[in-house]
Amino acid sequence: MEKFKIPVIPQTTSKCIRFPNNIIESVEAAINGKDCTFTAFVIEAVRVALKNLEERPEIKEPPSPK
């Protein structure tokens, strides 16, 4: 049986970013009727994008200047 662990809520920082209106509309449509907030959706999307970058190291590093 898995042991119960009291969850630790990570420390957060508020960041103000601008989204194109069509992206906002698409995210809101995707989460409509689901138990998910816009913020939670964006955090998960960024987490997955970062994980994908870790799996593809050739994309992680910017091209060297010429």
> Could you tell me the two tokens for 32?
């409509």
Per-residue confidence (pLDDT) for residue 9, from 0 to 100: 85
Does residue 14 lie in a domain region? Answer: no
Query: How many domains, in total, are found in the chain?
Result: 1
Inform me whether the pLDDT recorded for 62 exceeds 90: no
Closest CA to 26 of 42, 15, 14: 42
The answer as to whether 2 is a domain residue is: no
On whether residue 40 sits in a domain, the answer given is: yes
64 part of a folded domain: no
Question: If you average pLDDT over residues 22-37, what whole number do you get?
Answer: 97
- The answer to whether position 36 is within a domain reads yes
Report pLDDT for 33.
97
Residue 35: pLDDT band (50, 70, 90) is very high
The pTM of the full predicted model, rounded to 2 decimals, is 0.70
Within a domain: 38: yes
Domain of residue 30: give its range: 22-56
Domain for residue 45, yes or no? yes
Q: Is residue 7 part of a domain?
A: no
